[in-house]
Amino acid sequence: MKIIEAAVSAPEAKIGVVISRFNKFINLNLLDGAISSLKRIGQVNHDNITVIWVPGAFELPLATETLIKTNKYDAIIALGTVIRGHTSHCEYIANEASAGIARISINNNIPIAFGLLTTENIEQAIERSGTKLGNKGSEAAITVLEMINVLKAIKLII
Ligand code: INI
């Protein structure tokens, strides 16, 4: 029997963080959580992290794909916040962002973490960006660290 379960340390990894400016006051906390986890938990070198700002969550997939095409990154963390309004506008944005990111990750065989908060209100977003319900940015960082090592192990062992 072979079992693959990887660690989360990836000191040599090159990580791109694509982040939305819309709801920036929340997203800055997601970024803080992501970078802190990359460095403290993943031991990722400060110089190997690139942060790219885009206007909104809808733009996350395009910037992510463009970054991947440079072939300089081992993983991408996509960060943003979509807060429900009075219309269905936010659903179109959240759906496109999530579908786009999933498609790009699979098509390019590269880990991309979906660090997009999709909440009913601002309070829920605050709770998930470094207060009582954790930090989605930090979770996203730990996810890509593990996935970098999982993909490596699959290629080595199987
Ligand atoms: N972008 C977000 O990141 N979050 C939102 O909640 C949001 N809402 O609700 O409108 C939002 N809109 C902007 C969108 O992502 C695009 O930047 C815009 O539509 C231009 O393409």
What CATH code would you report for 18-153? 3.40.50.960
Among protein residues, the one with the nearest Cα to ligand 1's atom 5 is 82
Query: How many Cβ atoms are within 10 Å of 46's Cβ, its own excluded?
Result: 8
List the one residue out of 107, 130, 123 whose CA is nearest residue 115: 130
Distance CA 2, CA 153 (A): 11
Distance CA 80, CA 64 (A): 13
Q: How far is the CA of 67 from the centre of ligand 1 (A)?
A: 20
- The pLDDT tens digits for 62-86 are 999 999 999 999 999 999 999 999 9
What local confidence, expressed as pLDDT, does residue 158 receive?
Answer: 74
Residue with tokens 């989360």: 8
63 lines ligand 1 (CB under 6 A): no
Q: What is the pTM of this model?
A: 0.97
Q: From first to last of the 158 residues of the chain, give the pLDDT tens digit.
A: 999 999 999 999 999 999 999 999 999 999 999 999 999 999 999 999 999 999 999 999 999 999 999 999 999 999 999 999 999 999 999 999 999 999 999 999 999 999 999 999 999 999 999 999 999 999 999 999 999 999 999 999 87
Cα-based torsion angle of the residue sequence 74, 68, 58, 90 in order, rounded to the nearest 10 degrees:
-30
Q: Which residues contact 92 (CB under 8 A, 6 or more apart)?
A: none
Q: Angle at the Cα of 59 (from 57 to 61), degrees rounded to 5? A: 95
Domain boundaries, the chain: 18-153
The annotation status of 25 as a binding-site residue, yes or no, is: no
